[in-house]
Structures are given as structure tokens and as C-alpha cells.
Amino acid sequence: MILRSKPSFKDIVSTFNGSILPRIAWHLLAMTVLSVVAIFAAREHPGIFAKISAIPFTLTGIALSVFMSFRNNACYTRWWEGRVLWGELIIACRSFARQTAALNEDDRRFLLHNLCAFSAGLVARLRGEDELEAIRRWSADGIDPHNPNPTNAVLDRIGGHCLALMRAHRISEIHYSVLEIQLSALARVQGGCERIALTPVPFAYSLLLHRTALVFCVTLPFALAGSLDWWTLLPVLLVAYTFFGLEALGHQLEEPFGFEPNALPLSAMLRTVERDMLSLLGEADLPAPIEPQDNVLR
């Protein structure tokens, strides 16, 4: 996730890192070359593009802008829902940890370390990394390598330990039900994150937008070259930067758990959970919080 203050005029003019420009630089270069070709063609053969009116592009551009805004809103909704779910995960972990304050040190350490294992496993699962390896950093107890959902297995293990404590009369039934509420919240968070990760924006919807934007930008220089000459570059590059940039940004927001600059900072939020759990266990040697690098928090 990109962390920057409100852009100043200098940032607007000169900022490259943190913008969408690196992702669309080749698109803009191709549009520049195409515009130059159209300009030279109009100069060599005056009137060759006379029958291509700019009016249809005005109407098409408005419709395309509305269509693109709908898609980007859908992608942003996915991104924001992912952030809300991870906020709920942090709250549930803190609440569960606070509700285990009356347990002895060994039981509490087991439960809170497994909360860290669950969070680490969920990050690895959402990012397509090794879940078992992420879980083993926090949990010495083995997870069946053939289990299709190791992260959920960690949650089951936490619930099983709480059930054993209740049966041994070390916690009351009411205390167990309170802890189970937080575990259910964590299960809902995992299910919600998996739903986002495994249900992309419909391919046909994205393909239609990409094709329409591409055709619009490619044909626009030929409608303007005859009347604007070298000034054609200005509106063409502005329109291309807007359309291709929104398209690339929507693609990044569509996958909120990935590694793109605008993806959610899962590693930083995982570190927050780890630091909170270790701090509640009384440990002083906490892992350092993850800091943004080049204004990007991972």
C-alpha cells in the first residue's frame, strides 16, 4: 500500500515512484509513436482523415468513462472489504488474547502463538505462498501436510484446546462460549478473504473494457491529426494516461492480497498481530514493525 501525504504541485509534476506511470509507460510510448505516424500521414496526404469526425469519440469517451468508473468502483470495493476483514482479524485476536488473561502461562502462550500461526498461514494462503512453512514459525505441533486448509486446521486446534480446558473445568462454559465467538469471527474473516481471492471480477467484463479502451485510444490520433497537427499529442496522451492508468489501477485493486504497490500491507498487519500477542505474553524482545520502503508498505 502506498503511503504518501497529499500530493503537492511538485509531486504532481515530478513523482514517478508510487504512481501508476511505471505500469503504463510502454502504452504511452506506443501511443506517442502512433500519434506521430498519424501526424506525418496527415501532413503528407492532407484530407486523408477528413471523414473521421471527433464527435463519435466524444460520445464514446463519455460512455467509456462511466463504464470504467463502474469497474474501478467494483475493484475498490474488493480492496476495501479486504482491509475491513483484516481489521476484524486484528480486533478478534486482541479480544481473544484479552479474554485468556486468567489462564496459566503455558495455555495462554499456546493459544496466542497459534493465533500468530493462523494469521501467518492466512497471509501465505492469500498470497499463494507455503502455508505450512508460515505456520511452523509459530506452532511446534505438526499440521497434516495433506490437509487442504492448514490455516483452518490451526483455528480448529485453538478451538479444541479451549474445549479441553472447559472439559477439565479450567474455564467455565460461559468463558468457552466467549472465546468461541472470537474464533467464529476469525473463521468468517478467513472465509471472506478466500471469497475475494478466489472470485475475480468476471473476465468478460474486464475484457470488454480493455478492448474498448484500446480501440478508442488507438483510433483517436487519426481523428485529431488532421486538425491539430502536433497538438494531437497532448489530448491523445492525456486520454491514454487516464484510461490506461485507470485500467491498470483497477487491476491492482482487483487483487488486494497480492504484491502490487497498491495491494494491502498484509505483512505489516501480520506483524501488528505478532507484536500484540507477544507483548500480552510479557515478552520484551518484540519484532520490529514493518516500515514502508520507498513509500510502499508491504
pTM of the predicted protein model: 0.87
Domain membership of residue 293 (yes or no) is no
Q: Are 250 and 81 in contact (CB under 8 A)?
A: no
Indicate whether 185 belongs to any domain. yes
Segment 221-246 shows an average pLDDT of: 87
What's the rounded mean pLDDT across residues 277-296?
84
Residue with cell 501488528: 272
What's the mean pLDDT in 163-175? Answer: 94
Distance CA 144, CA 148 (A): 9
Mean pLDDT, residues 58-79: 83
Do the domain assignments include residue 158? yes
pLDDT over threshold 80, residue 141: no
Task: Assess whether pLDDT exceeds 80 at residue 186.
Answer: yes
Query: Considering all CA atoms of the chain, what is the largest pairwise distance in Å, rounded to the nearest integer?
Result: 92
In a domain, 207, yes or no: no
- As given in the structure block, the three cell numbers for residue 187 are 473463521
Q: Where are the beta strands (DSSP E) in 80-233?
A: none
Please give the Cα distance from 156 to 186 (Å, whole number).
11
Q: What is the pLDDT of residue 87?
A: 96
Within a domain: 172: yes
- List of long-range contacts for 45-52, beta carbons under 8 Å, 24+ apart: 46/226, 47/226, 48/226, 49/222, 49/223, 49/225, 49/226, 50/226, 52/219, 52/222, 52/223, 52/226
- CA dist list (Å): 116 to 23, 83, 119, 179: 35, 18, 5, 16
**Model pLDDT, residue 1:** 64
Q: What percent of the chain has pLDDT over 70?
A: 91
Instruction: Count CB atoms within 10 A of the CB of residue 248.
Output: 18
pLDDT at 170: 93
Of 3-7, 175-179, 218-222, least confident by mean pLDDT is 3-7
> For the residues 123-146, what does the mean pLDDT come to?
87
Band the pLDDT of 211: cuts 50, 70, 90.
confident
Element (H, E) at 70: helix 55-99
Of 193-197, 215-219, 275-279, the one with minimum mean pLDDT is: 215-219
Confidence band for 174, pLDDT divided at 50, 70 and 90: very high
pLDDT digits (tens, 9 = 90+) for 87-117: 999 999 999 999 999 999 999 999 999 999 9
| pLDDT class of 48 with cuts at 50, 70, 90 | confident
pLDDT band for position 10 (cuts 50, 70, 90): low
Number of domains in the chain: 1
Give the Cβ contact number of residue 46 at 10 Å: 9
- According to the model, what pLDDT value does residue 283 have? 85
| Domain that residue 107 falls in | 81-200+267-283
